A and B are shown apart, each in its own frame.
Chain A
Amino acid sequence: MATVIASGLTKRFETTCAVDGVDLVVDEGEVRGLLGPNGAGKTTLLRMLLGLVRPDAGTIELFGRTPHGSDRLILDGVAGFVEDPSFYPYLSGRANLEVLAELDGGGSQACIDEVLEQVELAGRGGDRVGGYSSGMRQRLGIAAALMRAPRLLLLDEPTAGLDPAGVRFVGGLVRRLSADGVAVLLSSHQIGEIEGVCDSFIMLSRGRVVWEGTGGQMRAQAPPSAYRILTSDDARALALAADKLGVQAEPSPSGGLIVEVEDGALDRFVLALGRSDVAIRRLELPVSPLESMFFALTDQPQDDPIVVPELAQSPRPSAGP
């Protein structure tokens, strides 16, 4: 069952079209990643779903109902935050949650302790939020969302400001919520941080959807990976690369070589370097396949065709209509 069905969403700010005809479906229990560079329209799309911004065109259905009437009342069961979660700095973390519980009708006061424990803030709940780090505010934002016992969770850059342990914590939490049937829409421009969490992705660029599909589809359609290799003899390595099928190498401005290889070609190239007495001093993958695809899709000028033609034909993930 689709939790979110958005169709043709458009929002324009003065001369800028922030979101341009976006269609979006998120199913119950699905974790969908919303990818795109800064300014792609991710936050505006989430704001429209949360009722903070009125779409200029398009429709939104949450749980099969149109949520935002003239007074833009958001439905029960929807929770989340956009940009960084914001709180009253002169109140403690616990007092902030109590205020939010009042806004929710008072019923969620009882679970404040539990959600504070859940986000590992139980020991700091009495401290003023003004003294919280950005990571702690992020955790408090997640706690505030959990208080609503959500069936749809909309999170905008939830890992921003978190340490690696925090990133792992958010990922685990999202997966647990998903297992309970919560639909999650997770926005980020750090594709590596949500890569393993999301079931499917939708990629925005300049307000438009440029690709959507599952993680497996994305990896399959990713362009060749580019490695950076430092060797004992770059000139000889460059000459060897020219003879190898499926290997393209060029000098890197920062030293060493940038080598684009197709599947299996990297092993052959490394063995060839060894046989030619060229030592490999460093081999690194600065950009993952998903990131390569991300850049390929989102760095395009607005009217240029997408580099990977078959991606445009990519079928919608199973969660889609």
Chain B
Amino acid sequence: MTARALSAAVPRRRRAGGGVWSVYRAERRKLLAQLSTRALALVCLLGPFAFGAILSQQGGVPADTLLGVWVHTSGYAVPLVVLGFAGYLGFPVLAGALAGDLFSSEDRYGTWKTVLTRSRSRGDVFAGKVLAAATFSLALVALAALSSIAAGLLLTGDQPLVGLSGTVIPSGECLLLVLASWLLSMLPVLAFTSLAVLFSVATRNGIMGVLGPVLVGLVMQLLALIGSGTWVHMLLVASAFDDWHGLLSAHKFYGPLIIGSCVCVVWVWACLGASWLILRGRDFAGTPVARRPGWVVPVRAVLGSAALIVVLGAASNWGPVAITKGRLEASIAPAFNDLTLLQQERLGRIVPKGTKLNDRTSCHRRAGASQGPGDDWSCTMTVVTPLPGANPLQLTAVTYDVSVKSNGCYKAQAPPSFVGQQMMSDAHGHSIVNPLFTIYGCFDTTAAATACAEAQNCGGAAARPSTSSPTSRARRQTPSTSSKRTTGPGRAETPAQRKAERAAGPVVMREINEAEGREEREAEKPVEEAEAAPPKVGR
């Protein structure tokens, strides 16, 4: 066949969509043919099932991970725990493996000259490749999301989930929140994908392209552990993987989500912009002597990166302190309240809606000022023990060891001597998770300073009304209980107030006892389950 014949054979009309789509289709074909892409898809598909199956076999729970104790209780905890793990390492690995070699592989195979001599501009090639990397990254995240939801529902079930402030989230709402949480993780995944593109274009090295985003992700995790300031922590794109925490709180907060999204957009713009500038100005003239492997450039890169990390570490104290005593107290007190009531319900006691513990919360760090992230926080909840027949004014102090992270999430654990073991028997004798054994919670680190000050002044239970949204308060309060609500000892600043408050008595015990009395009268028989139930708070 001659050129003339070939000319006639090749249709001159091209498919609609332009150059970007042509490059996208070609890149899609290449990615689908690669073993690494198929392996990643397999991991995303089967990984959550393997995770769930291993948990089922072991019987233990990943208590150190947010919501980890609930993986055997609610199937919705599984995708959220998987999401938590993925945010630490999985997503950067995924982004690196997909996008980190997308550009550098053309250097490795010497195919730039093949690609760029096919009537496609560099802009088309760049946009098509980035589009392919982004869509594959998001597709794999979506696959992992659906797989982990399916794994949770199939292996555990669709029971309601205890959220991040102790409230129980109904099944249907859980599904929406889990989907929303995974959806929110896509923006930082795109940011890491852009970072991988930058590594790939700038280094022309597939290993650096794949490992670069992973290393950056790990460094970001380390930076999140140090310092108490908010400025550097907010600029870390890895922080955006935690944006979903606000959705699972009783009083939803969106500050970190908004800031994290803006940070991700800036990262995407900066990384892709820099990548494009490098690619556009590049000559494809083989490998010049200056770019041949040597030790000078790697050493410079390592030294520069180390210096940058040191500077960022030093700057991690800059900005307002996100973790404060007031914020922690305002968050953990209602969580403790809700989980105590949940425990009472599980034990078979009748708990009217909106019942509040008459507790007082005080948090502090064992060393240094009571602010900033750390594992040495301690929160003491002073509560009225709701034991039938006990002295109504008997106060008991429950002290939790609290580990607080810079993102405002914490895990609190109390000694089993008061709250009981991790597993307990419910009213029907079933072994269930003791809700009070581990308390997970998150608070808004971006909330206005005035709200924080108010919370600090109020403290504990008294802080709750000020941090509750009107709608959530309305939802939680019933007409029968809202009139009885105590203002809490924190607000009782005068002797008269204290006297009135004391007269009100331990509300939780009174409400529970009254409710049980009504139930007994209506049934005209004692509530055997309630009496046979294990002791209440503290067992």
Residues of A within 8 A of B33 (CB): 90-91, 95
CA distance A150 to B1 in the complex (A): 13
Q: Are A182 and B111 in contact (CB under 8 A)?
A: no
Other-chain residue from A76, A81, A98, A180 in contact with B2 (beta carbon distance below 8 A): A180
Other-chain residue from A87, A110, A118 in contact with B10 (beta carbon distance below 8 A): A110
Residues of B within 8 A of A102 (CB): 22-23, 25-26, 29
With an 8 A cutoff between CB atoms, is B7 at the interface?
Answer: yes
Other-chain residue from B13, B110, B112, B288 in contact with A107 (beta carbon distance below 8 A): B13
Main DSSP-derived SS at the A contact region: loop
Q: Are A13 and B113 in contact (CB under 8 A)?
A: no
Q: Are A176 and B2 in contact (CB under 8 A)?
A: yes
With an 8 A cutoff between CB atoms, is B57 at the interface?
Answer: no
Residues of B within 8 A of A13 (CB): 285, 288
Residues of A within 8 A of B284 (CB): 47, 52-53
Q: Are A73 and B119 in contact (CB under 8 A)?
A: yes
Within 8 A of A (CB), among B103-161: 109-124
Q: Are A149 and B15 in contact (CB under 8 A)?
A: no
With an 8 A cutoff between CB atoms, is A8 at the interface?
Answer: no
CA distance A124 to B23 in the complex (A): 26
- A146 and B121 in contact, given A71-B280, A81-B114, A86-B113 (Cβ under 8 angstroms): no
With an 8 A cutoff between CB atoms, is A203 at the interface?
Answer: no
Other-chain residue from A74, A91, A176 in contact with B119 (beta carbon distance below 8 A): A74
- Tell me how far the C-beta of B290 lies from the nearest C-beta in chain A, rounded to whole angstroms: 7
Other-chain residue from B25, B35, B120, B286 in contact with A73 (beta carbon distance below 8 A): B120
With an 8 A cutoff between CB atoms, is B369 at the interface?
Answer: no
Residues of B within 8 A of A76 (CB): 119
Within 8 A of B (CB), among A77-100: 78-91, 95, 98-100
CA distance A50 to B112 in the complex (A): 12
With an 8 A cutoff between CB atoms, is B283 at the interface?
Answer: yes
- A99 and B29 in contact, given A87-B109, A88-B109, A146-B6 (Cβ under 8 angstroms): yes
Residue of B nearest to A14 (CB): B290
Other-chain residue from A71, A82, A150 in contact with B122 (beta carbon distance below 8 A): A71
Residue of A nearest to B126 (CB): A71
Q: Are B3 and A105 in contact (CB under 8 A)?
A: no
Other-chain residue from A72, A83, A149, A150 in contact with B116 (beta carbon distance below 8 A): A72
Q: Are B15 and A107 in contact (CB under 8 A)?
A: yes
Q: Are B123 and A71 in contact (CB under 8 A)?
A: yes
- Tell me how far the C-beta of B385 lies from the nearest C-beta in chain A, rounded to whole angstroms: 68
With an 8 A cutoff between CB atoms, is A10 at the interface?
Answer: no
Q: Are B283 and A74 in contact (CB under 8 A)?
A: no
Residues of B within 8 A of A117 (CB): 1
With an 8 A cutoff between CB atoms, is A5 at the interface?
Answer: no
CA distance A114 to B35 in the complex (A): 30
With an 8 A cutoff between CB atoms, is B14 at the interface?
Answer: yes
Residues of B within 8 A of A151 (CB): 3
Residues of A within 8 A of B117 (CB): 50-52, 74, 78-81
With an 8 A cutoff between CB atoms, is B11 at the interface?
Answer: yes
Q: Are A87 and B111 in contact (CB under 8 A)?
A: yes
Q: Are B285 and A52 in contact (CB under 8 A)?
A: yes
Q: Are B110 and A86 in contact (CB under 8 A)?
A: yes
Residue of B nearest to A83 (CB): B286
Residues of A within 8 A of B25 (CB): 102, 106
Interface string of B278-292 (1 = CB under 8 A from A): 001001111010100
With an 8 A cutoff between CB atoms, is A144 at the interface?
Answer: yes
Residue of A nearest to B117 (CB): A50
Other-chain residue from A86, A149, A179 in contact with B111 (beta carbon distance below 8 A): A86
Within 8 A of B (CB), among A42-75: 43-44, 47, 50-54, 70-75
With an 8 A cutoff between CB atoms, is A103 at the interface?
Answer: yes
CA distance A104 to B118 in the complex (A): 6
With an 8 A cutoff between CB atoms, is A147 at the interface?
Answer: yes
- A103 and B118 in contact, given A71-B123, A149-B10 (Cβ under 8 angstroms): yes
- A99 and B30 in contact, given A86-B113, A182-B3 (Cβ under 8 angstroms): yes
Interface string of A141-165 (1 = CB under 8 A from B): 0001011111100000000000000
Q: Are B114 and A107 in contact (CB under 8 A)?
A: no
Residues of A within 8 A of B285 (CB): 13, 44, 47, 52-53
With an 8 A cutoff between CB atoms, is B58 at the interface?
Answer: no
- Tell me how far the C-beta of A90 lies from the nearest C-beta in chain B, rounded to whole angstroms: 6
Residue from B3, B11, B12, B286 whose CB has the most chain A CB atoms within 10 Å: B3
CA distance A95 to B4 in the complex (A): 25
- Tell me how far the C-beta of B15 lies from the nearest C-beta in chain A, rounded to whole angstroms: 4
CA distance A73 to B9 in the complex (A): 24
Q: Are B3 and A146 in contact (CB under 8 A)?
A: yes
With an 8 A cutoff between CB atoms, is A4 at the interface?
Answer: no
Residues of A within 8 A of B11 (CB): 107-108, 110
Other-chain residue from A82, A98, A103, A147 in contact with B113 (beta carbon distance below 8 A): A82
- Tell me how far the C-beta of B1 lies from the nearest C-beta in chain A, rounded to whole angstroms: 5
Residues of A within 8 A of B286 (CB): 43, 83
Q: Are A54 and B283 in contact (CB under 8 A)?
A: yes
Residues of B within 8 A of A24 (CB): none
With an 8 A cutoff between CB atoms, is B417 at the interface?
Answer: no
- A105 and B22 in contact, given A52-B284, A53-B284 (Cβ under 8 angstroms): yes
Other-chain residue from A88, A91, A149 in contact with B6 (beta carbon distance below 8 A): A149
Residue of B nearest to A70 (CB): B280
- A50 and B23 in contact, given A44-B285, A107-B12 (Cβ under 8 angstroms): no
With an 8 A cutoff between CB atoms, is A37 at the interface?
Answer: no
- A114 and B283 in contact, given A52-B116, A86-B111, A87-B109 (Cβ under 8 angstroms): no
With an 8 A cutoff between CB atoms, is B34 at the interface?
Answer: yes
CA distance A95 to B113 in the complex (A): 18
Interface string of B174-196 (1 = CB under 8 A from A): 00000000000000000000000
Q: Are B29 and A74 in contact (CB under 8 A)?
A: no
With an 8 A cutoff between CB atoms, is A111 at the interface?
Answer: yes
Q: Are B118 and A88 in contact (CB under 8 A)?
A: no
Residue of A nearest to B28 (CB): A102
Residues of A within 8 A of B26 (CB): 99-100, 102-103
Interface string of A179-195 (1 = CB under 8 A from B): 11110000000000000
Q: Are A106 and B22 in contact (CB under 8 A)?
A: yes
CA distance A80 to B117 in the complex (A): 8
Within 8 A of A (CB), among B269-306: 280, 283-286, 288, 290
Within 8 A of A (CB), among B1-52: 1-4, 6-7, 9-15, 19, 22-23, 25-26, 29-30, 33-35
The contact sample of 22 A-B pairs, CB cut-off 8 A, is A13-B288, A47-B113, A52-B285, A72-B116, A73-B120, A87-B111, A91-B30, A91-B33, A95-B33, A98-B29, A99-B29, A100-B114, A102-B25, A103-B23, A103-B119, A105-B19, A107-B14, A110-B9, A111-B10, A146-B1, A146-B3, A146-B6
* Extra pairs beyond A51-B116, A105-B22 (15, CB < 8 Å): A14-B290, A47-B113, A50-B116, A53-B283, A53-B285, A71-B122, A73-B119, A76-B119, A83-B113, A95-B29, A106-B15, A114-B1, A149-B6, A151-B3, A177-B3
Which 3 residue pairs spanning A and B have beta carbons closest together? A105-B14, A86-B110, A71-B121
